[in-house]
């Protein structure tokens, strides 16, 4: 078995990535409350640049302060943020690694909404169903404003020297809230038919193109299938693969240079990040969200109480079963067959042969990796040295995700370490060097 396919450069329209491995978007609360980036965020991203990935897709970067998911992610919502991104991009480039900024807007899916805006904006005014997060239905004027915010975010990314941008169109955030037939309940030109539901996404893409010109990389991350019934079978199914493929075709016509395929119409979702539902960590980490939504106190009681928590865990883990690595390859292949631009796939990749086979089979052109790179930031180097799966692989426990609300992002699965102390030491390495290093 050879894994050579992983190390062949990937040619986009405007630049080339040295290999087929992307660090997928991963956000930790490393930044200032107002969204200004910090030295710590740079330390975080540089871990992966040093570890050999070909490109990094940034953390979820809100294009407007109302669109944050939780405070302390780095925003790209104002010109004052550009110097931070510029310095970060330059430092990443020193490692022969490309940098793509993920432009995002949470919509109603705001886990900790912060003090500035009481409600999120959405296609609908119905509460987000898991936590009961409140929202208001966007007016036409607000939609227009936000389209401009995405375009301005793209301009800032370009000014910062980033190699491209990714429009975050998936995982239940605002663009999904428009695309999804399970969420979008509008009667106007932004709801109803697929064409109408896709209008907002297409307007965003066209506005970005108009702002940054034709020679700048623009990729689109999309939920290929909503899988709306995965958690509770009485919920709506949502957008189908066929519908998403049609949307991708329209997006390609509008000027998209690549697609990034994910799944699920919420975040988190049983299929993304697929794997464990770590009840104990959830009880410790979810408490801080109780004041966020209408259902959060109820949820906290469920997570705290046996056997309700075991049932919830069963419902959650049932959807993905054991097929975490490459869970989206089937959907990705369907998208790739329908478009002529490169297609990236996310979902638990950490085995060299699995990745190489996927590329050779033509399921995708590259893979994006989140959790397994947290576990092993040097994953690409391990593969290069001939290792197929890292000696201490990611267990998909999802403890990284749950802990990041209150604690520094990192791997919290003690079973992967010799001791808890070793784990904590590893987590805290992100703070070295500090902002004032002398």
- Residues binding another protein (CB under 8 A): 32-34, 36, 38, 40, 71, 112, 114-116, 283-285, 287-291, 297, 300, 304, 403, 406-408, 424, 427-428, 431, 434-438
Q: Are strands 258-262 and 343-346 parallel, antiparallel or unpaired?
A: parallel
Q: Which is nearer to another protein, 14 or 291 (CB)?
A: 291
**C-beta separation of 56 from 100 below 8 A:** yes
Q: Minimum Å distance from CB 84 to another protein?
A: 12
Q: Minimum Å distance from CB 79 to another protein?
A: 14
Selected catalytic residue, list 33, 73, 99, 173: 173
Q: How many residues does the chain have?
A: 438
**C-beta separation of 71 from 404 below 8 A:** no
Q: Minimum Å distance from CB 57 to another protein?
A: 24
Q: Is 173 a catalytic residue?
A: yes
Separation between Cα atoms, residue 103 and residue 83, nearest integer Å = 17
Separation between Cα atoms, residue 1 and residue 212, nearest integer Å = 43
Q: Minimum Å distance from CB 110 to another protein?
A: 14
Q: Minimum Å distance from CB 288 to another protein?
A: 4
Q: Which is nearer to another protein, 356 or 374 (CB)?
A: 374
Task: Show the beta-strand stretches assigned E in 324-413.
Answer: 343-346, 366-369
The per-residue b/e assignment along 255-270, b for 16 or more CB within 10 angstroms, e otherwise, is: bbbbbbbbbbbbbbbb
How many CB atoms sit inside 10 A of residue 419's CB? 9
Q: Which is nearer to another protein, 36 or 302 (CB)?
A: 36
Separation between Cα atoms, residue 164 and residue 142, nearest integer Å = 26
Nearest partner of 131 among 274, 302, 263, judged by Cα: 302
Q: Which is nearer to another protein, 137 or 304 (CB)?
A: 304
State both tokens at 118. Answer: 């009481």
Q: Which is nearer to another protein, 24 or 403 (CB)?
A: 403
Q: How does DSSP classify residue 216?
A: S
Show which residues are catalytic: 173
């Amino acid at each position: 078995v050879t894994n050579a396919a992983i190390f062949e450069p990937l040619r986009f329209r405007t630049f080339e990535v040295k290999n087929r491995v992307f660090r997928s978007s991963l956000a930790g609360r490393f930044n200032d409350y107002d969204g200004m980036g910090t030295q710590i965020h740079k330390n975080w991203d540089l871990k992966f640049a040093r570890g050999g990935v070909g490109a990094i897709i940034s953390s979820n970067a809100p294009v407007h302060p109302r669109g944050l998911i939780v405070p302390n992610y780095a925003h790209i919502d104002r010109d004052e943020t550009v110097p931070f991104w510029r310095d970060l991009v330059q430092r990443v480039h020193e490692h022969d690694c490309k940098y793509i900024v993920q432009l995002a807007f949470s919509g109603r899916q705001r886990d900790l909404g912060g003090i500035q805006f009481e409600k999120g904006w959405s296609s609908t005014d119905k509460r987000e169903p898991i936590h009961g997060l409140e929202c208001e239905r966007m007016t036409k004027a607000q939609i227009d404003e936000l389209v401009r915010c995405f375009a301005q975010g793209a301009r800032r990314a370009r000014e910062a020297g980033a190699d491209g941008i990714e429009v975050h169109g998936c995982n239940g955030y605002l663009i999904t809230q428009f695309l999804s037939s399970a969420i979008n309940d509008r009667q106007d030109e932004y709801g109803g038919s697929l064409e109408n539901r896709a209008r907002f996404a297409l307007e965003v893409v066209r506005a970005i193109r108009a702002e940054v010109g034709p020679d700048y990389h623009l990729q689109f991350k999309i939920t290929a299938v909503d899988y709306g019934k995965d958690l509770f079978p009485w919920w709506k199914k949502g957008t189908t693969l066929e519908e998403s493929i049609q949307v991708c075709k329209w997006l390609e016509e509008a000027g998209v240079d690549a697609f990034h395929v994910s799944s699920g119409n919420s975040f988190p979702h049983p299929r993304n990040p697929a794997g464990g539902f770590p009840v104990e960590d959830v009880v410790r980490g979810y408490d801080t969200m109780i004041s966020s939504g209408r259902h959060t106190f109820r949820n906290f009681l469920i997570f705290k109480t046996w056997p309700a928590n075991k049932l919830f865990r069963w419902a959650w883990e049932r959807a993905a079963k054991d097929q975490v690595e490459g869970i989206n390859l089937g959907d990705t292949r369907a998208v790739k067959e329908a478009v002529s631009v490169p297609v990236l796939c996310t979902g638990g990749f950490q085995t060299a042969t699995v990745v190489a086979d996927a590329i050779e089979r033509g399921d995708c052109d590259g893979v994006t990796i989140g959790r397994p790179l947290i576990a092993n930031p040097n994953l690409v180097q391990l593969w290069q040295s001939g290792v197929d799966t890292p000696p201490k692989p990611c267990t998909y426990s999802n403890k990284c995700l749950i802990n990041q609300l209150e604690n520094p992002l990192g791997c919290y699965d003690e079973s992967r370490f010799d001791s808890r102390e070793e784990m904590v030491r590893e987590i805290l390495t992100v703070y070295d060097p500090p902002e004032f290093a002398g």
